Amino acid sequence: MNKKIFVFLSILIVSAMALAGCRNHTGEGLPVNETEAAGEGREQEKKILRVSEAFVLETLNPHLDYQGWYTSIYGLTEALFAMDDQSSVKPVLAESAEAEGNEWTVKIKENACFSNGNPVTSGMVVRNLKNAGEINPRFSNLLDYNYKIIDDKTFRITTVEVYPTLLNDLASPELAIVDLDNSGDMAKELVATGPFVISKFEPGGTVEVARNDKYWGGEVKLDGAVFYYMPEADTSLMAMQNGELDSYTSVTSDAAEIYGQAPDTYKLVTVPATRLQFYILNENRLGAPVRKAINLAVDSEAIETYLNGTVTSTSGPFSPTAAYGKAAKAAVDPEGAKELLEADGYILNVDGYYEKDGQVLSLNIAYYAARSLDTLAALMQEQLGKIGIKVTLTCEEDPDGTYIATGDFDLALYCMIADKASDPYYFISCTLAEGAPYNCGGFSNGKAQAWIDELKVETDREKRAELANRIVQLAIDEDAFGYVALFNKTTVMRKGVTNVSENCPFDFYFLTADTDMD
C-alpha cells in the first residue's frame, strides 16, 4: 500500500511539474521584447538589459512626488541639468545658465528635442517648471518666481531673492522636461527627452523601455531594458545567479559577498552615496562633557567594518571628495572619554557604569528599525557601555522623523539624504539652522546662524564650500551631532554590462545612452 501511495505521489508531482512546464527562457512569462530578443537567431541582434528594482511605479508623471527619480532611472526623462559622478552640476538639456543678482538666464541646447521629434522650447520648459511647482509641494517655490521667455531657446527666471542653488534645484529629476501637450495625463504615456521611451508600462509591476530612435544626445547603445519589480533582495540574487538579470543596485552585503566570489561572472562597484546615518545629541538633556565623551567613544570605523561594506564611515555629513565635505572629528578615544566624565564628577560604580550624586549615567537612544539604524543602535550601546554609559534602546515605529521632532530623546539616530543636489545648503538649513525641522536637539549658535544666512545667498562655489565646512565643524566641535557613516551604493553587473551610472553617488540615475552590454 505504501508503495502505491509513493508511486501515486511521485506521478502527481511529476505531472504537476510537467504541466507547469519545464524551464524555458523564451516562455510566456517573459516580456514581449525580451521574448523576441531571446528568439531563435535574434538573441545576438537585440540588446535588452534586464534589471531589478525594489520600488514600484503607479504613474509615469515625473513631476509628482518622487516619480521623477524612477523615470530618470529608466532613462526616460532628463532635466535641464544633472549631477555627475563628482557631485558637480552639469548641463544636460540646458546649454548654459548665467546669473545676475536674482536673475538667471538659461539657454537651452539647440538640438534638444523630445522623443516625438518636437524641439524643447523655453515655453515648454517654463510650463514644466510651473507644473512641477503646482503638483509637487517640495517644489512649490517655483511658483513664486517670475519667468520671462526671451526666445525659443532662452528664458529668464527671476527669483524672490538671490538664489545661488537654483541650478542644483533644476538638476532635480523631478524637474524633468516633458512634452506636456503629447503625454496625456502622464499616467501611462510619456513623451520626454531621455535616451529611452516607454514600450510597456504596467502600474505596480514591470516596466519596459525601448531605444529612443530620435534621441537628441547621440547614439543609444542598448535596444531596450526591462525593469522588474523585486522587493525581496533574495529574489534579485537568485535571478542574477540564474542568468535572468543583468544588473541592479542596492546589493545587500550578503549578496555582495556571493558576487565577490565569482569575479569572472560579476562586476561589483561600491561608491559612498548621499544617504547619511547620524545622531542628534540632545543639548537640553546632556551636558557638554557627556556629549563630548559620547562622540569620543563612538567608533564609526568599527561600525563600518561590522556593517560589512554597506556603509563608509564619515567625519562629516558630506562625501570627503566634495569641496564642502572637509569637516573633521576627533579620533576615537575611549580613555579620553572616561577622563572627561571623571573630570565632570562621575565615579565608576561596581557595575561598571559611571554615576554622579547617586544617579547612574544612563541615556536612551531613539531609532527606527530600518536602514541599519537598529544595528547601529546596538553597536553604539556596546561602545558606550565600554566607557561606562548605560544605554537603553527605544525603537520607534515611524521612520518619518516625527519621533525626533518631539525632542523626547537623549540621543536620536536618523538617516536621511544629506546631499540631494551637490550643494551643502539643503542639509545645513534642515539640521543646523535655528528652528530647522531636524534641529531637534537644541543646537543654537549665533555664529553658525550668521554663516548659514551668508551661505544662503553666497554665489561663489569656493566660498560656499568654505562656509559649509566652518558651519559643520562648529556643530561637530559643539558635540551637537555625530556623523557616523554614508550609505554605499553597490551595483552588480554581469560581465560585459557597462555604464549603468555605477560610479554616481546619486540614487536617481541608472540607464543612460552609453549603457551597453556584450
Q: Does 515 bind other proteins (CB under 8 A)?
A: no
Which three cell numbers, joined as nine digits, stand for 379?
553597536
Residue of 464, 296, 320 lying closest to 383 (CA atoms): 296
Write the DSSP assignment of 356-368 as a string of letters. Answer: ETTEE-EEEEEEE
Residue in 239, 330, 348, 360 binding other proteins, rule: CB under 8 A:
239
Q: Does 393 bind other proteins (CB under 8 A)?
A: no
Which three cell numbers, joined as nine digits, stand for 144?
513664486
Which 3 state secondary structure label does DSSP give 161?
A: coil
* CB closer to other proteins out of 76 and 337: 76
Eight-state DSSP code of residue 269: E
Residue in 84, 430, 461, 498 binding other proteins, rule: CB under 8 A:
430
Residue in 218, 231, 260, 496 binding other proteins, rule: CB under 8 A:
231
Residue of 262, 297, 295 lying closest to 281 (CA atoms): 295
Which three cell numbers, joined as nine digits, stand for 464?
560656499
Alpha-carbon distance 319 to 504, whole Å?
Answer: 12
3-state helix, strand, coil in the chain (%, to 5): 30, 25, 45
Alpha-carbon distance 151 to 165, whole Å?
Answer: 24
* CB closer to other proteins out of 302 and 417: 417
Residue in 408, 417, 454, 473 binding other proteins, rule: CB under 8 A:
417
Q: Indicate the pairing of strand 390-396 with strand 224-229.
A: unpaired
**How many other C-beta atoms are found inside a 10 Å radius of the C-beta of residue 49?**
25
- Binding marks (x or -) toward other proteins, 5..44, rule CB under 8 A? x----------xx-xxxxxxx-xxxx--------------
The number of residues making up the chain comes to: 518
Q: Does 444 bind other proteins (CB under 8 A)?
A: no
Q: Site for other proteins (CB under 8 A): how many residues? A: 66
Stretch that binds other proteins, among 76-84, 103-111, 281-289, 430-438 (CB under 8 A): 430-438
Q: Does 264 bind other proteins (CB under 8 A)?
A: no
Beta bridge partners of 107: 96, 154
Shortest CB 20 distance to other proteins, Å: 4
* CB closer to other proteins out of 296 and 373: 373
Shortest CB 401 distance to other proteins, Å: 6
Residue in 10, 15, 42, 58 binding other proteins, rule: CB under 8 A:
58
> 352 to 391, contacts with other proteins by CB under 8 A?
371
Q: To which H or E segment does residue 154 belong? A: strand 154-158
Q: What is the dihedral of CA 134, 137, 139, 143, to 10 degrees?
A: 40
Alpha-carbon distance 45 to 335, whole Å?
Answer: 65
Stretch that binds other proteins, among 65-73, 90-98, 160-168, 471-479 (CB under 8 A): 65-73
Residue in 10, 111, 140, 308 binding other proteins, rule: CB under 8 A:
140
Where along the sequence are the contacts to other proteins (CB under 8 A)? 1-2, 5, 16-17, 19-25, 27-30, 50, 56, 58-59, 64-67, 69, 137-138, 140, 203-206, 228-232, 234-235, 238-239, 241-242, 244-245, 275, 371, 396-398, 400-403, 415-417, 420, 426-427, 430-431, 435, 437-438, 507
